[in-house]
Amino acid sequence: MIRIAPNNVKIIGTIVCLAMLWPVTAWLSPFKVKLFSIVTNAEKHSDTIPVIPKNRNRQDTFNANKTDTSLLSNKKDSIERVRIDSLTLSKDSLDAPVKYAAKDSGVLMIDSKEFILYGKSNVAYKDLMLDAQTIRYDQESQLVKAYGGTDSANSPINKAQFKQGSSNSISDSIIYNMKSMKGLTKNTYYNEGEIYVNAQVLKKADSNIFYGYRSRFTTCNYDTPHFAFVTRKMKLINNKIAVSGPASPMFEGVPVPIGIPFGIYPIYNGRHSGVLIPAFTVSEDYGFGLEGLGYYKVVNDYWDVTTRANLYSYGGWMLNILPKYIKRYRYTGSFSLSLQNTKALNKSVITKDQFTSFSTYMINWSHSQDNRARPGTTFGASVNFGSTKYNQTLLNNPYQNYLNQLSSSISYSKNFNNKANLSLNINHNQNSNTHLVNLSLPNASVSVMTIYPFQKKERAGSLKWWESIGVGYSGNFQNQISFYDTAGTSFKRVLDTAQWGATHSIPVTITLPQVGPFTISPSVSFSQRWYGQSIMRTWDSVKQKLDTSIHKGFYTASEVTFGINASTRIFGTFKFGHGDNTKKIRHEVRPNIGFSYKPDLVSKYFYSTQVDTTGRKVRMSQFDGVVPGTYSEGTFGGISFGIDNLLEMKVRDKKDTAAAATKKIKLLDGFGISSAYNLMADSFALSPFSLYARSTLFEKINITGNATIDPYVVDKYGYRVNKYAWQAGSFKLGTINYANIAVSTSFKSKSKSGKTDKDRLQIDPFLTPDEQQRQLQYARANPAEFTDFDIPWNLSLSYSLNYNRLPYRDTAGIATFQNVITSNMNFNGDFSLTEKWKIGAAGYYSFNGGGMQQLSMFITREMHCWQLAINVTPIGKFKTFNFTISPKSGILRDLRINRSRSFSAY
């Protein structure tokens, strides 16, 4: 026996163990006498390697080592040297180095071929890690035995801990064969991914298969788990599946007198195909239902498909097919097809039918291309197209129930060596209230880089003014179809609405050097529009209505503008006293003024026609309502002007200990007004004023506002009169045609862990924007399932006030205007009642639309490895109640208790 290290001396070594030590010992054991003879001779002869004559070449030396024994001297140790030169490893040696350490000592027993480590020992072999109080290795049987120990109080210390890859186990004792990878452990706590198993006996059949006896299965990482499934027998296959015999649940150590005949628990890492378990629901309108029943299929490394279905007892159903695809550094996207057959209980007194039935559909496609895939070329898609009633009949989705606008866009762009750009687009928008659908397909845009025809290829010194003259080109080609998504709309009628148009623009720019504090920018522009039809409107005096006639053909209209603009920046500061925290206020003014001229080239397309029974006539263009739109009538030669303001304050920074430390606070991010005056107009020369303002108060409250004011007086029908508002007897700026004020803010406490939002919120980089939006909608509809207990409280508020002056026809058929005011508020917040309980609410309140339109509340309980969630929607299109208690682990996400009910509010 050889003691390698004295007591309390740590050993850290890398040995071939047992890959080298034991084979050498085993091979030399028949020659122990000769071994000591070699050592003795080695002491006598410093050179134990044969001396090769200098005149021999390398090949001769190689051959001599194989067969020629004449090179050996006749000394007594010649045979021994030959045997050492032909040393080979034994069959029972290990095939990789072993790293080991022991706090106490290591003992090597040559006769029994055993190696023992004492005191907080550690052995590493390939991907195996073994820690224990005592580790014993038998080289002949290649068995490793590991045990824990006890301290002076007889408490267990340094239990045997075994790690291999992603699996980890802690046991009272371990017996492991390092050659066959088989082992046996007792009182083992085994961990594989999210699974935790405690077994009285755990047998490792090979590197991937385990058998457990009297086992406890859970996903709770506590020594005494909050819940577990207790079974007599269990089999685990690494990264695949766990299977148990009859099992019964246990909560907080208390057995529950119910059981399951067997258990199958998938423990795959990564994607795998499988059945999606549904949730039960009860709806007053749809009956009993199963929601979310489906199948997930992994097609290959780049594709997968999720299929889900909702089934209801009244006969309604919904089917959703969602393929997703991704290729890293190339593209990512998803496609969704939803078919919905609604059969709801009829609550209307108008019809006697028991049920209301109709079918709807929804198509979603999202695609994004990585910028590195094809530099200079981009392709993207965001498609949301479907029936106008689809969103209105969705259960448990209050936000989508009120989504009245759908829009889509598919775009492709190509850059031609920075000389020209081509863009192709397909656009779509539809309104669920009016049922109007607009399709623009395809639209093409072409732009050419500005060319400087007078600029020399090789120039010296500064540019002459004429050398800065640049000429560009941009073209836009449009195709549009408009129709109503109602029954009876035929394909022929849809084609009748098709129209096309194009816009060509050739801008000429001149860049002049700055004149003092002013920047001067002259410009000349020519544009032409092509039309595929014209529209004539005439008053029918017999039927007392306005008739419309469409004429197909090819029409053109042109426009030329000349202009020069000047802008500058003016700064002013106001300093405060030395004792004030406010150091100074800085005001920046950015005025601009421009002179422009536009001859009237389109007056031949305008005409006057009667529009109502009062005999009032209105000037119209035969291209009103035609793609791409009409030019304005009349000659314009006038002045455009505007002013923008920025106001900020410099104050003392209280967080900085330096005496002169300051920080900037913006009081007004921007405030401005703009208008124009036509010097050549005989009436209505002054254009409406556009005002805007935006600010962020205290870095928390965002305020934006804008308005359009018409400076002229209006008659009793709301139409303009050629007289300024301030000339009407009392001071008045004009008539407000549009105004909007929006205020939003959010407050939240600091996180308990001190982590930032970026650290706490993990965003999947491969989700498309549409998928992120859908996940956000689901989180909003089920807030209790996405509660962040790290933030004790948070509150978000937003308020919007809108005013519009819109045209309409009264009951007598007279065209006039009406004022429409909308005012609403959104709120969302939650706070923790205790460290484990949290409540919250989100809602939408309309001040002019009948009060609270939508209200959702939730309460949730954090239970470490479980979560309880209650979602209630007492106000909304659908009133819902949902109770869910489920494990947090993704492996057991379908093992949940769910109770859901819903019914329509109308």
More confident residue, 497 or 24: 497
Strand partners, 355: 345
Q: What per-residue confidence (pLDDT) applies to 454? A: 86
50 pLDDT band, cuts 50/70/90, is: very low
Give residue-wise pLDDT tens across range 606-645: 999 988 888 888 889 999 989 999 998 888 999 999 999 9
Stretch 32-57: mean pLDDT, rounded?
35
Paired tokens of 15: 């040995």
**Cα→Cα distances 25→19, 78, 139, 629, Å:** 11, 21, 11, 96
Instruction: Say yes or no to pLDDT of 27 above 70.
Output: no
**Confidence (pLDDT) at 515:** 82
pLDDT band at 55 (very low <50, low <70, confident <90, very high): very low
Number of CB atoms found within 10 A of residue 863's CB: 15
Residue from 280, 263, 254, 257 nearest 217 by CA: 263
Q: What is the structure's pLDDT at 879?
A: 83
Q: Which helix (H) or strand (E) holds 660?
A: none
pLDDT digits (tens, 9 = 90+) for 746-804: 988 888 777 665 555 555 555 555 555 555 555 555 555 556 677 888 999 999 999 99
d(CA 391, CA 167): 46
- pLDDT band (50, 70, 90) for residue 89: very low
The candidate with the shortest Cα–Cα distance to 305, out of 319, 323, 332, 292, is 323
Using DSSP's 3-state secondary structure scheme, residue 338 falls into: strand
Contact between 704 and 693 (Cβ < 8 Å)? yes
Contact (Cβ atoms closer than 8 angstroms) between residue 189 and residue 159 = no
Measuring CA to CA, how many Å separate 142 from each of 90, 202, 205, 445, 698?
13, 20, 16, 75, 71
Q: How confident is the model at residue 715 (pLDDT cuts 50, 70, 90)?
A: confident
Split at pLDDT 50, 70, 90, the class of 506 is: very high
Structure tokens at 424: 């192709």
pLDDT at 18: 37
The kind and range of the H/E element at 446 are strand 436-451
Nearest one of 408, 531, 437 to 478, comparing CA atoms: 531
Share of the chain above pLDDT 90, in %: 27
Residues 6+ apart with CB under 8 A from 426: 408, 409, 410, 411, 439, 440, 441, 442, 443
> Positive or negative CA dihedral for 746, 751, 752, 754?
negative
Separation of alpha carbons 15 and 331, rounded Å: 49
Peptide bond into 442 cis (omega under 30): yes
Where b means 16+ CB within 10 Å and e means fewer, 609-635 reads: ebbbeeeeeeebbbbebbbbebbeebe
Identify the pLDDT of residue 503.
95
How many residues are recorded in the chain? 906
On the question of pLDDT at 85 being above 70, the answer is no
Residue that wins the pLDDT comparison between 457 and 200: 200
460 vs 634, higher pLDDT: 634
In angstroms, how far is the first alpha carbon of the chain from the final one?
A: 90
Q: In angstroms, rounded to a whole number, what is the distance separating the alpha carbons of residues 44 and 77?
A: 11
Average pLDDT over every residue of 119-132:
86
Alpha-carbon span 631 to 525, nearest angstrom: 14
Tell me the average pLDDT across 810-835: 85
| Residue 725 φ/ψ, nearest 5 degrees | -65, -35
Helix axis angle for 32-44 and 78-85, nearest 10°, is 110
Q: Count CB atoms within 10 A of the CB of residue 244.
A: 22
Return the residue matching tokens 């755990």: 202
Q: What does the pLDDT read at residue 81?
A: 37
* Whole-structure pTM value: 0.67
Higher-confidence residue of 710 and 53: namely 710
pLDDT bracket for residue 474 (50, 70, 90): very high
Query: How buried is residue 332: exposed, middle or buried, by Cβ count under 10 Å (0-12/13-18/19+)?
Result: buried
pLDDT at 487: 56
Best-predicted range by mean pLDDT (95-99, 166-170, 328-332): 328-332
Contacts of 58 (CB under 8 A, 6+ apart): none
Quick one: which of 51, 41, 50 has its CA closest to 76?
41
More confident residue, 286 or 402: 286
134 - beta bridge partners?
118, 147
Rounded to 5°, the CA angle 74-78-84 comes to 165
User: For 357-371, what is the mean pLDDT?
Assistant: 89
Residue 21: pLDDT band by 50, 70, 90 thresholds? very low
- Rounded Cα–Cα distance for residues 769 and 761 (Å): 16
Looking up tokens 């020594």 gives 223
Q: Is 17 helix (H, G, I), strand (E, B) or coil?
A: coil
3-state secondary structure of 222: coil
Average pLDDT over the chain, rounded to an integer: 80
pLDDT band at 485 (very low <50, low <70, confident <90, very high): confident
Show the beta-strand stretches assigned E in 209-347.
209-218, 227-237, 241-244, 247-251, 254-255, 263-266, 274-276, 279-283, 287-298, 303-312, 317-327, 331-345
User: Cα separation of 864 and 221, whole Å?
Assistant: 9
Pairing of strands 143-147, 105-109: unpaired
Residue 579: per-residue pLDDT: 56
Q: What is the pLDDT of residue 682?
A: 86
pLDDT digits (tens, 9 = 90+) for 207-229: 788 899 999 888 888 878 888 88
Which H or E element spans position 825? strand 815-832
* Alpha carbon separation from 798 to 274, 334, 826 (Å, rounded): 43, 32, 5
d(CA 837, CA 495): 59
Tokens, residue 293: 């029943």
If one compares 783 and 117, the residue with the highest pLDDT of the two is 117
Using 50, 70 and 90 to split pLDDT, how confident is the model at 328? confident
Percent of the chain past pLDDT 70, that is, above it, reads 81
DSSP 532-584: EEEEEEEEETTTTEEEEEEEEEEEEEEEEEEEEEEE--EEEEEE--TTSSEEE
Q: Report how far residue 834's alpha carbon sits from residue 792's, in angstroms, rounded to the nearest whole number.
A: 9
Instruction: Give the pLDDT of residue 768.
Output: 53
> What pLDDT is attached to residue 26?
34
Mean per-residue pLDDT for 197-205? 89
Least confident of 76-85, 413-422, 513-522: 76-85
Pairing of strands 720-724, 712-714: antiparallel
Three-state secondary structure call for residue 500: strand
